[in-house]
Structure 1
């Protein structure tokens, strides 16, 4: 399972800061696949937190965060629902800061868009759409946001209502009680090796051939991209999308452009026609298995660390019942 809303890139007055997003459970899906023929099967997932355990940790995190917020004077949050857990807080608009969010993907999106129906509706924003359907959005005041996250920019106040905001906010304080430290301060070997597996896999000759077959299919559909990553980035769409934005009344910047949707749909169909996912998934599985063999000790330590966190989270929830 992949537990995170991805990194937030915060831009203000020419200052660039990075802040980690919520380590939360992903949208619900069937039980973790065990067959290597299933493209969602990832050997490294055996060392990660399951979806059920992720939900337990999410509920415990927000349970503790609510208590912290009440301590800081936000009594109105005492009854905040924690099942399902809220979306990771976003800085309110109009505070002079632009926040760009990149959604980390895994599972059935690890190799890019594959479902032509979803691609036709969401373009390359399937991960964002899945996340937004799963986690209730809530608008926060700037004081609430800072108290929850401790993600300060510029002259943001470091205290609220006479109380000092904890390191990484109330959600960070909750993580320290559950995990013993903040997730941002710890290297997750599962995440690292998932990325390394893709890097190594893409150097494989068979992966390159799969890219070539996909590229040839896309060319027949009228698109010139060497790899699916190039299509998803879509630098060639920037000009047309800007024109669409300027010429469309009530344009929604969160809605993928018509061109993006058409491209993503062609992308998914070419993956299906060329057997792209089957090929690259088989390579990915082999690479992950090699990486596991070389890094088994630290992976087992990570699994034990996760299990301890799930146990503590369960105790926290039980104490509230």
Structure 2
């Protein structure tokens, strides 16, 4: 296989987080007067086959999968109760949202590699299943979101602020958990960045690069560069993109799928994943200690919202 030198640009992408449960934003929560973190000791551990199943210290301050589903069900009950007042029915509730993160260390999951390779066009799993069939600009969409097709406040007599979705969020007290969600997201980001900058991860990344070089691939880093290269590669020699490709994305080539599988294998055999995961966990452990009172208060706020959700589900 011919060796290749890859770029270091990240292809443009838009991440849409539908706020049907607690809001999440990747804000950074580093206090300006916080002392620099000491070099943490780490415990290397066997990783699960599904990298998304790694348990992190900050997970204790997020909704569990079961709690997430309860919040989705309660949101649906409340939104539907509201839309029925306007004579409109919602689509069925559908499957639970899967917020499992399998890409925090770059492409790391073999199933993702075999299914999507480096494509960023995979369907979003962050929006509830019942919301997807509602056509933007439709009356139902305006009543659910509180906005018209142009993003202006919907002109519907008796519609609550933010539409039926806004009313549901307020009923579930989700506004009271949003700042805590931001804190957790910021601490998560801080731990990730701190671990990535650690010399031990950089050494493991060098081992990953040697593994990739042996297979004929040369990337500048393990996270962004492969996506940038293959994103550009899919467009080479194309004069136009078909309507189907505009909607669903350009299907990765066999060469891209092959490269993706090598990448995933090298991330494990080089120790890159194990090292970065271990350092991320160690850094999160320290941040949980530092931010203990705020995190515990947030966990109680989440639990209170879940109790409220159960009440609305029982009431129907």
Short-chain TM bin: 0.7 to 0.9
Structure 2 Cα separation of the partners of residues 105 and 247 of structure 1: 34
Which residue does the alignment assign to 1:140?
Answer: 135
Tell me whether 258-267 or 203-212 shows the greater mean CA deviation. 258-267
Structure 2 Cα separation of the partners of residues 251 and 244 of structure 1: 18
Which residue does the alignment assign to 1:47?
Answer: 61
Q: How does 1:104-183 map to 2 (within 5 A)?
A: 106=101, 108-125=102-119, 128=122, 131=125, 135=129, 137-143=132-138, 144-150=140-146, 155-160=150-155, 162-163=156-157, 165-181=159-175
SS of 1:202's equivalent in the other structure is helix
Of 18, 21, 40 in structure 2, the residue corresponding to residue 21 of structure 1 is 18
Change (3 A) 1:125 1:242: closer
Tell me how far 1:65 sits from its aligned partner: 1.0
Structure 1 Cα separation of the partners of residues 18 and 65 of structure 2: 18
Contact residue 142 and residue 148 of structure 2 kept, 8 A: yes
Change (3 A) 1:133 1:309: closer
Of structures 1 and 2, the larger Rg is shown by 2
Q: How does 1:302-317 map to 2 (within 5 A)?
A: 302-317=298-313
TM-score by length of 2: 0.73
Q: 1:208 aligned to 2:222?
A: no
Tell me how far 1:57 sits from its aligned partner: 0.2
Contact residue 212 and residue 226 of structure 1 kept, 8 A: no
Change (3 A) 1:142 1:249: closer
Of 237, 252, 256 in structure 2, the residue corresponding to residue 257 of structure 1 is 252
Contact residue 175 and residue 182 of structure 1 kept, 8 A: no
Tell me how far 1:204 sits from its aligned partner: 0.8
Contact residue 200 and residue 275 of structure 2 kept, 8 A: yes
Contact residue 58 and residue 284 of structure 2 kept, 8 A: yes
Of 166, 183, 194 in structure 2, the residue corresponding to residue 189 of structure 1 is 183
Contact residue 158 and residue 164 of structure 1 kept, 8 A: no
Structure 1 Cα separation of the partners of residues 100 and 66 of structure 2: 18
TM-score by length of 1: 0.72
Which residue does the alignment assign to 2:92?
Answer: 81
Structure 1 Cα separation of the partners of residues 230 and 120 of structure 2: 18
Structure 2 Cα separation of the partners of residues 244 and 148 of structure 1: 43
Q: 1:241 aligned to 2:234?
A: yes
Of 60, 79, 82 in structure 2, the residue corresponding to residue 68 of structure 1 is 82
Change (3 A) 1:83 1:56: farther
Q: 1:319 aligned to 2:315?
A: yes
Which residue does the alignment assign to 1:100?
Answer: none
SS of 2:223's equivalent in the other structure is helix
Contact residue 147 and residue 153 of structure 2 kept, 8 A: no
In the alignment of these two chains, the number of paired residues is 273
Change (3 A) 1:141 1:203: closer
Change (3 A) 1:237 1:124: closer
Contact residue 146 and residue 169 of structure 1 kept, 8 A: yes
Deviations 1:177-227 (A, max 9, x none): 102527667653221111111011111110111111112222232322232
Of 249, 264, 267 in structure 1, the residue corresponding to residue 263 of structure 2 is 267
Structure 2 Cα separation of the partners of residues 237 and 38 of structure 1: 27
